Amino acid sequence: RYGYMKNITPIAILLVLVSVLLTSCGKAEEFEPAPIITTERKTTEAVTYKYSNLDVLGAKMGMSIEETQNALGVKTDIQVNDSAVPFFAIKKSGLPFVSEGVESVVYFIYDYNMRLCEIQYATTEKTGFVLNDAISSYDKKFGKHAVVTYETNKTNYVWYQGGVYIIVTTTNNGQNALSFFDEDYFAKSNPEEVKAYAQA
């Protein structure tokens, strides 16, 4: 009995194999396309930067550091302040509302795209600053100004021209500043001055 089963098993396996082979020989295989893996190359559009129409001390807002230094004819190291804001500083004479021959430190400040967004220097009455002269001069050049006074005894006089906000800041301790800002940068950081100027 057991020997009979041993003979059947190999024969059964052989029949199954033959039938599988015979049925598959005449049958066309179905084509299954392999998945195509494509890697799309990301195209990045060239970023265009807006430059101010107004030239400020030889530079225009929106310039890169290299463009600014080339325009000024200087080469100096870049520094970073505590807030990771990049800037460089140069000494310059012949500045508005600073006595002739007096050198002041002028700061050229950049945003996080490394584009010029602010220029600033300080002046005092000792170095030739007279508020009424500054107001009169800038009113003639840029039109009527706006005034914003803060509780910290600081007052900003505001003008706008050619993509630049011009700010004369006076303080009770006599430390005054002239600042020039890119319009978009200034609008984000000083909405009160922008509103005041629009209503002036």
pLDDT digits (tens, 9 = 90+) for 88-126: 999 999 999 999 999 999 999 999 999 999 999 999 999
The 10s digit of each residue's pLDDT in 40-89 is 555 566 678 899 999 999 999 999 999 999 999 999 999 999 989 999 99
Give the CB-side neighbour count of residue 116, counting CA atoms within 13 A.
Answer: 30
Query: Would you state the pLDDT for residue 61?
Result: 98
Residue 182, class by beta-carbon neighbours within 10 Å (0-12 exposed, 13-18 middle, 19+ buried)? buried
| pLDDT over 70 percentage in the chain | 77
* Res. 158: pLDDT tops 80: yes
Q: Which has the closest alpha carbon to 180: 190, 165, 168, 169?
A: 165
Within its chain, how far is the Cα of 43 from the centroid? 20
Say yes or no to pLDDT of 169 above 90. Answer: yes
For residues 94 and 151, the model is more confident at 94
Q: Give the ranges where the chain is alpha helix by DSSP (H).
A: 2-25, 65-72, 131-142, 183-189, 191-199
Q: For the chain, what is the mean pLDDT?
A: 84
Bridge partners of 104, per DSSP, are 92
Q: How many CB atoms lie within 10 A of CB 197?
A: 21
pLDDT range class, residue 39, cuts 50, 70, 90: low
Amino acid 25: pLDDT: 45
Predicted local distance difference test score (pLDDT) of residue 23:
47
pLDDT score for 153: 85
> What would the two tokens of residue 73 be?
């004819």
CB-CB contact of 52 with 62 (8 Å) = yes
Say what the pTM is: 0.76
Residue 22 has pLDDT above 80, yes or no: no
Confidence label for 133 from pLDDT (cuts 50, 70 and 90):
very high
